[in-house]
Amino acid sequence: MLLSKNRMEDYTSLKGLQIITSLDKHELPLMPPKEILDDAADEAERKTDPTIKVTTREDKIVVEDNGNGIPRSSLNLIFDWDLAAYTKFVYKPSRGCFGYGLKVVAVYLSSLSREYLGKAGDEYLRIRSRDYDFLISNVRYSDGRVKNDRSINDAPLRQGTLIEVKFPVPILSTLSISNFLANYVLINPWISFEINGVTYARVSRYNVNKRAYAHYYTFDEFAEFITRAREQHPKALLKEIISDFAFTTLPKEFSSAKLEGLSFDDISSIYKYMRNSEGDSFIGYIGKRPIARRFLQIFGNYEKLKYSHGRHYLSTYEIWCFHSHDIPNAFVTGINNTLPYRSPLEHFYLYITEKENSKIRLKGLTLNEILKRCGINNDEPVLTLFHIFTPKPKYGSYVKASIGLSREECEIIGDLIYKTCRWYSGHKGYENASLVKCDRERLLSTLMKIVSNYYSKGYRLTLRHVFYKAAPYGLYPFNKRGYRIVCETLLEVLYKRACELDPEKIEILTVDAPQDGIYVLNRLKEEKPHEFENALKLLQSTGGSCNAGDRIANIDPFGNIYVCQFAQLPELRVGNIRQRNFSDLWNDNANPILSLFRNKTKNLMGKCGKCPYKQLCGGGCRIRAYFHYNNLWLDDPLCSLTMKREPDYDSRAGFGVA
């Protein structure tokens, strides 16, 4: 380890260190001494690729790559240090190898950190959720721009970009976890948060193509899981059972051991050690089966567990862990997404933390019980095909009995969906508009067969694939002509299918695209004028425009309210339900953000402002326009009516109203 006890004593005896915070009268130093930083840089450079340069400059650690970006294995080692955290980490990429920007990962105090920081470290773990916005407060680019944001996950790193991340307080950090989470680890002091007097802790891992969230459980709960798993799968190897668990702290005798190599007796020893140690110890469980996404509408505080298929980047399995004592009944609107396909409903357990005699316990409920509790008809499960059919044909065998498809048909669907999703995955770039080359007719005809089979058995089936991360950014091929081909082709296919399908059985919904209703109106006016008036009245009566800030609200895990799920930006925050009642916030006519969105048609500019259909579509998606032009009121870049040319007006108005 880089910090021995003697080095820690030297560290604490140094004078003149800048102090930036005080926790319960325990002061924490801002920066470690330069010799410790130098040792850390030398150690990191020695362990990593020889072409990677790690140096210290004043109070910074600077990492420079060899022109090809930092390999994942090297980056793991760079940040696997046991030293006092520095307040500035600088990474200067040569050509933006982090496709989506700098990725920040929460870490937990190691045993060494606890020994050094003492009570101050324990107090530091009790960071409240309201401090979250302050934790990463300043990201400065080399061109002088400053990004004050809750996260920097979407900050693009281009060639020559210099990123400085300032952390509010230092932390001794090391994270003994399985390799599953040990990717792109950066030091980040937000570790746990307190809600209603209960402290929850978590660890997160991000990387370019996939992300994972882990909710923490105690070791006793983990031991119960291991016991149950061994009873159900007596022939399974221990490493298969525990491969998705991440240990936050381990006794010294296991600190260098591979998690997969531990025996069951070793695991038992760890339990005993952790149960006898001071303070709480946690482990994280990574969800691997799809269930309903929209628990946010039902449960207030939650942790989202998400694991994307590491090989193909398209199959996503999610679990929402929520806290039952924070259920806002007003948000019980239903679940509409996915059900597990590997386990029957009555055998799939969702763990809920509940208060009982001032203690926290886990209660296992089947998904059917959850649905019944929420007042949802559990006889109408909703299934997402993109979670069933993947390039691996074996997944198809789990569902072929219920949907009436052969193994070969499952393989065909998986192959077609893979080709389609691969175009969106980003690792090949958006400039290639190859989606139009997909065999749409064969894919759609097979999907229609599935829908028919399910409908005949009384099931409701949702065919959906929403790119929530891409939707607000308006990601599309840089070749504008290629994009127009894709957009026009897809709209044509959807319109054709909508005319053929029985609306009593199958409906088509395009997400985040109210302007599609205008496309349908224009087609009806040309081809079926006798239906045009009825369709127009229907669109007018339903308020066909986007409902963001009017009939839709988004609440994040920390209580922040936004006008929709795509608008999770500090500048678009409506308020916080932990500081003010939701009803008071939502009915506040003086709220500047709500006022803007509820009067958006009056503020539209450019072609959207002049469009005769703006009262019907509301100008499309305002968040997409904001990301694309840095202006909330310019054209929706994905509107087929306005994409023929770029805007010829100033796009730097931001929130300015015309």
- Domain containing 267 equals 214-277
pLDDT score, position 376: 37
* Residue whose C-alpha is closest to residue 617's, from 593, 594, 641: 641
Q: Worst-scoring range by mean pLDDT, 131-135, 136-140, 182-186?
A: 182-186
CATH code, 113: 3.30.565
Reading the block at residue 651, the tokens are 């796009």
pLDDT score, position 451: 56
The residue-averaged pLDDT of 518-533 equals 82
pLDDT beyond 80 at 123: no
Is 189 contained in some domain?
no
- pLDDT tens digit string along 61-117? 455 554 444 443 344 333 333 233 332 333 333 333 232 222 222 222 233 333 333
Is 653 contained in some domain?
no
pLDDT beyond 60 at 474: no
- 469 and 586 co-located in one domain: no
- 312 and 264 co-located in one domain: no
19 or 245: which carries more pLDDT confidence?
245
Is 196 contained in some domain?
no
Is 241 contained in some domain?
yes
Q: What is the mean pLDDT of the chain?
A: 47
pLDDT score, position 217: 38
The residue-averaged pLDDT of 300-321 equals 27
Is 1 contained in some domain?
no
pLDDT score, position 53: 58
How sure is the predictor about 157, in pLDDT bands with cuts at 50, 70 and 90?
A: very low
Is 373 contained in some domain?
yes
- pLDDT tens digit string along 431-472? 332 333 334 455 455 555 555 655 555 544 554 444 433 334
- 398 and 255 co-located in one domain: no
- 321 and 407 co-located in one domain: yes
Is 608 contained in some domain?
yes
- 270 and 256 co-located in one domain: yes
How sure is the predictor about 483, in pLDDT bands with cuts at 50, 70 and 90?
A: very low
The domain boundary, picked from 413, 432, 451, lies at 432
pLDDT score, position 360: 35
- Give the type of residue at 630: N
Q: Worst-scoring range by mean pLDDT, 180-189, 484-493, 545-554, 573-582?
A: 180-189
CA angle 621, 622, 626 (to 5 degrees): 125
How sure is the predictor about 234, in pLDDT bands with cuts at 50, 70 and 90?
A: low
pLDDT score, position 492: 72
The domain boundary, picked from 231, 254, 277, lies at 277
CATH code, 305: 3.30.230.10
- 122 and 45 co-located in one domain: yes
The residue-averaged pLDDT of 611-633 equals 81
- 143 and 234 co-located in one domain: no
Percent of the chain surpassing pLDDT 90: 0
pLDDT beyond 60 at 32: no
DSSP 437-502: GS-HHHHHHHHHHHHHHHHHTT---------TTTGGGT---SSHHHHHHHHHHHHHHHHHHHHHS-
Handedness of CA 466, 468, 473, 478 (dihedral sign): negative
Q: Worst-scoring range by mean pLDDT, 88-97, 312-321, 413-422, 453-462?
A: 312-321
Residue with tokens 């090949």: 428
- 380 and 486 co-located in one domain: no
- 413 and 445 co-located in one domain: no
- C-alpha to C-alpha distance for 454 and 404, rounded to whole angstroms: 9
- C-alpha to C-alpha distance for 74 and 450, rounded to whole angstroms: 46
The domain boundary, picked from 251, 277, 303, lies at 277
pLDDT score, position 608: 84
The residue-averaged pLDDT of 310-336 equals 25
- 250 and 370 co-located in one domain: no
- 468 and 426 co-located in one domain: no
How many other C-beta atoms are found inside a 10 Å radius of the C-beta of residue 589? 7
- C-alpha to C-alpha distance for 352 and 484, rounded to whole angstroms: 47
257 phi/psi in degrees, rounded to 5: -85, 150
pLDDT beyond 60 at 306: no
- 263 and 321 co-located in one domain: no
Is 282 contained in some domain?
no
- C-alpha to C-alpha distance for 72 and 69, rounded to whole angstroms: 9
* Count of domains forming the chain: 5
